[in-house]
Amino acid sequence: MIPGCLALALAACALPPTSAAPPSTSTYAISECPAATFDAFIERFGREISFQELTTADPLIVERCDGAAEPEPRRVVEKVALADVVWPVMPRLDLLNPGGRAYDIIRIAGGGMEVQVRRPDTSDQQRYIFRQSPCWQLQRVVDESV
């Protein structure tokens, strides 16, 4: 057999490569998602840090106001690697009221959902943007606090 042909014959017999990495969220079917509805998802997301780690985009887009910028504050957008995210990334919604904070859940364009957490009459406001791909995932945090 010609040496080049031997290599082709061996390659044809080789097993397909396997990956040791776990599948990304986007490879799951909707029926395999950890929560069937957004209400169930967001309740668990707020309660379990390990679930937040599993269902947060890598990188996570974080927008915030840089109050030290000159001549005036400016908006900063960063892509934060999952390993660098400070957990919990979102507070427990059921524990907000004693601290004087409130929240709203709003459907946004494109089928996403937004959780708005705020302290009334202050600039203390954060928005958490979630999308399905096909499972729910936190993709962006917007901190509007000054």
91-118 pLDDT per residue, tens: 999 999 887 899 999 999 999 999 999 9
Q: How far apart are CA 19 and CA 144, in angstroms?
A: 41
* pTM listed for this prediction: 0.76
Q: Among candidates 94, 95, 86, 69, which has minimal Cα distance to 141?
A: 86
Tens digits of per-residue pLDDT, 19-56? 333 334 445 555 689 998 999 999 999 999 999 999 99
Name the band, by pLDDT with cuts 50, 70 and 90, for residue 6. Answer: very low
Cis-peptide into 91, omega within 30 deg: no
- Please tell me the CATH code under which domain 3-143 is placed: 3.10.450
Q: How far apart are CA 67 and CA 27, in angstroms?
A: 40
